[in-house]
Structure 1
Amino acid sequence: MSDAESVIEGDTLEVAVPSDPLAGHPATAYFWGHVAGSGRVVRSEASITDSERRRCERLEVVTTDEHAAQVLAAIVGGNVDHETTSREYAHDTSITRTEDEYTLSIDEDSEELLGRTSALSLPVDGRGNYRFGAFSSHDRELLRGLLEGCGTICFKSSSGTVGISFVHDDRTLLEATQELLADCPIDTAVSELSATSSGGYWFGVDDAAVPEFGTWLYEGCEATGLFAPSRRRKLERSIAQADSYGE
């Protein structure tokens, strides 16, 4: 991967990408936000010969938006697979939802997996803490990737407000996300971390802060293409519903 613009097939959008996948850049910030929010390392056995097997690793990033999946692939390469899945709702496991999922798979053989020798070389330090310092100048794209990776958006009909929450099994990641929100230029108060019924954790953005925060988060995103159109539409539609609530 070099300093260039990757063209998304079937579209005129071009995404600028840096040579170093961990360098401070809007595209890498967006990508690693998605990786932290919905990425996982998958290990599988692959045959080389009849008598020899080796262990392979790959990085998978899941999104429900096809455009976002193609953008992530344009940034780092890899293959995108599509399937329809049903899963439990994080806040209430009695509710299931069916949706399209697009999985970006990056094999270990792909340019030594983003220039690193192992899929485990994610942006974390030796203690396993997330290190997002390289993306401090691109907090908008990083937070956008995190929201699209592990965030939820809903219109609350009972109060006429919009809810944004972040849900993940990794408490440390959510704590790091809270710190990012505290440092962003928009006054974005958040709730304390709570346990979900599925065994993970979640926190919410204060409803009063959502309209300004959401507008800032997606401001200018069309110029770079670093966003999930379906997620932005849902946020904008929910904010519009809140604005017209009670009229």
Structure 2
Amino acid sequence: MSETESAIEDDADAEATDGDASLEIEAPADPLVGHPATAYFWGHVAGSGDVEDNGIEVVTNDERSAQVLAAIAGGDIEHGTTSRDYAHDTSITRTEDEYTLTIGADSDDTGATTTDSDESGLLGRSGALGLPVDGRGNYRFGAFSSHDRELLRGLLEGCGTICFKSSSGTVGISFVHDDRELLELTQELLEECPVEATYGDLGETSSGGYWFGVDDDAASDFGTWLYDDCEATGLFAPSRRRKLERSLEQAEADE
């Protein structure tokens, strides 16, 4: 197994996070319109969520990120744990926190940015029709094209990893998902970045999914751009940003 693939299978968010019960996020009343908050939300949904006619479910290892998603689109958060084998040694099992946000159709969720409570259906729509995902599970991100940074940040926190690659002394940023077309769409978004974000070819993971990595010589600048000014909006997972900061520090010290 390559170092890059090992990094993909290791979760970058397995650490304590900063919860904030009074979290306030600026977001539009309609969770489908173009806005930094909705772009971040749908990036997360695409990366680690599931959309059905009767609801949306998003999973994250970061408590504050789950609270941000709930502030944007309503829903209920359930805290649990999950266990899996450590990528480098399958004899070791690691237990991690897991936060699941569930947004149900015809629910009484009254998050600050949800649609009017007298509208039925999922986010005020009849089922999944009208959401930025078609019946085959393909995502449409056209409405969020002016907010590519937040969209990519949601995607990275949903299905990506950040690590320090000790063998090369560089920061590693990768995306992994079972849906090849979603990763191809992510690559298209990277091509439109205002900073260099060159990437490698799609490959298969040992678990049967797909992955690709941002090139080592572009990862530091891309990661820095991705989280620049995120404090101003609150649209980020603190654990993931801390992982990036530590990796950048290690890469700088290794030069």
Q: Which residues in structure 2 correspond to 1:56-95 (within 5 Å)?
A: 57-88=54-85, 94=90
Relative to structure 1, the CA distance from residue 149 to residue 120 in structure 2 (aligned partners, 3 Å threshold; closer, same or farther) is: farther
Query: Which secondary structure does the structure 2 equivalent of 1:87 belong to?
Result: strand
Matched, 1:24 2:34: yes
The one-letter code of the counterpart of 1:118 is: G
Matched, 1:238 2:235: no
Matched, 1:10 2:7: no
Query: What CA RMSD, in Å, does the superposition of the two structures yield over aligned residues?
Result: 2.1
Query: Which secondary structure does the structure 1 equivalent of 2:29 belong to?
Result: coil
Q: Which residues in structure 2 correspond to 1:1-247 (within 5 Å)?
A: 10-11=21-22, 13-41=23-51, 57-88=54-85, 94=90, 96-110=93-107, 112-119=121-128, 122-125=131-134, 128-245=137-254
Q: Name which structure has the greater RCO, CA cutoff 8 Å, separation 6+.
A: 2
Partner residue, 2:114: none
Query: Which secondary structure does the structure 2 equivalent of 1:137 belong to?
Result: helix
Checking the alignment, whether the CA contact within 8 Å between 1:92 and 1:198 is kept in structure 2 is no
- State the alpha-carbon separation in 2 of the partners of residues 196 and 87 from structure 1: 16
Relative to structure 1, the CA distance from residue 159 to residue 34 in structure 2 (aligned partners, 3 Å threshold; closer, same or farther) is: same
Checking the alignment, whether the CA contact within 8 Å between 1:41 and 1:120 is kept in structure 2 is no
User: How many residues align structurally?
Assistant: 224
Contiguous gaps of at least 5 residues in structure 1: 1-7, 43-55
- State the alpha-carbon separation in 2 of the partners of residues 164 and 9 from structure 1: 28
- State the alpha-carbon separation in 1 of the partners of residues 27 and 68 from structure 2: 11
Checking the alignment, whether the CA contact within 8 Å between 2:32 and 2:131 is kept in structure 1 is no
The one-letter code of the counterpart of 2:158 is: G
Partner residue, 1:48: none
- State the alpha-carbon separation in 2 of the partners of residues 165 and 240 from structure 1: 18
Checking the alignment, whether the CA contact within 8 Å between 1:108 and 1:119 is kept in structure 2 is no
Q: How far is 1:121 from its partner? A: 5.1
The structure 1 segments of at least 4 consecutive aligned residues displaced by more than 3 Å after TM superposition are 91-97, 119-122, 125-129
Contiguous gaps of at least 5 residues in structure 2: 1-18, 108-119
Q: Write the deviation string for residues 191-227 of structure 1: whole angstroms up to 9, x where unpaired.
A: 1100111110000000111111111101111111100
Q: Write the deviation string for residues 22-67 of structure 1: whole angstroms up to 9, x where unpaired.
A: 100000000000000000146xxxxxxxxxxxxx822110011000
Relative to structure 1, the CA distance from residue 199 to residue 222 in structure 2 (aligned partners, 3 Å threshold; closer, same or farther) is: same
Q: TM-score, structure 2 length as denominator?
A: 0.82
Query: Which secondary structure does the structure 1 equivalent of 2:26 belong to?
Result: strand
